[in-house]
Amino acid sequence: MNHKSFLNFLFLLIFKHKNKHIAIFFISIILVFILSSVIFVKTVLKHDALITLDAQSDFVVQKISSGRGVDTLQDWADDFLDIAGVTNTNARVYGKYWYEPNERYFYIIGVDLYEDQIIKNLKKIDKELSLHLKQRDINEVGSVEKAILRLSIYEIKFSTLPKAIIINEAIELAKKLTSNNAPKFINGLLDKVQK
């Protein structure tokens, strides 16, 4: 029975036998409402699932050193855009870090911690960092130190916070999260950057 004949039959019964079939009419309305709700929810869920899948990475490229994930250059993400079929790349943070006060390692895994504006300026930050490193390569700097330096240089260049506070916070972070020489190194480098 197609939909049109069902509706004709339903309304014919209601008009002929109003008292008998009013319950059938309301039950039919409820069934139509439930069916349309289920179809709507199914469509919305399918649409949201497809949007979520489109936003996910198809593959992850990671640099390994001594069995540990290390930071990759931001240029690598840009180079992947040259591959046919690649339309989007996202830099991700991954690392195992030693927290000296508690004598424990902690992990930062697979989240994009940088806002879009920071990603756009990351090349500028790394270039600025490389200028002040003199003869050292940016990849020779430890992951934690590099993260502290990147954050601090970003704040020095792109925020309105006082530079002395930014440098002091970077030094305090370095004291808590890095080796003994790192706070002096970070202090000296950020002092050069601010000038």
Strand partners, 70: 63
Q: Are 42 and 121 in the same domain?
A: no
Q: Are 168 and 85 in the same domain?
A: yes
Strand partners, 105: 98
Are 154 and 114 spatial neighbours (Cβ–Cβ below 8 Å)? no
Note the pLDDT of residue 43. 92
Note the pLDDT of residue 191. 87
| φ and ψ at residue 58, rounded to 5 degrees | -80, -35
Structure letter (DSSP) for residue 93: E
Q: Are 135 and 154 in the same domain?
A: yes
Range of the domain at 39: 3-55
Note the pLDDT of residue 48. 87
**Where a domain ends, among 11, 39, 55?**
55
- Number of domains into which the chain is organized: 2
pLDDT averages per 10-residue partition of the chain, 195 residues: 69 70 76 91 89 68 68 69 74 62 64 55 80 79 86 83 89 85 87 83
Report pLDDT digits (tens) over 68-82: 666 666 667 677 777
Round to whole Å and give the CA distance between 97 and 171. Answer: 17
Q: Are 19 and 93 in the same domain?
A: no
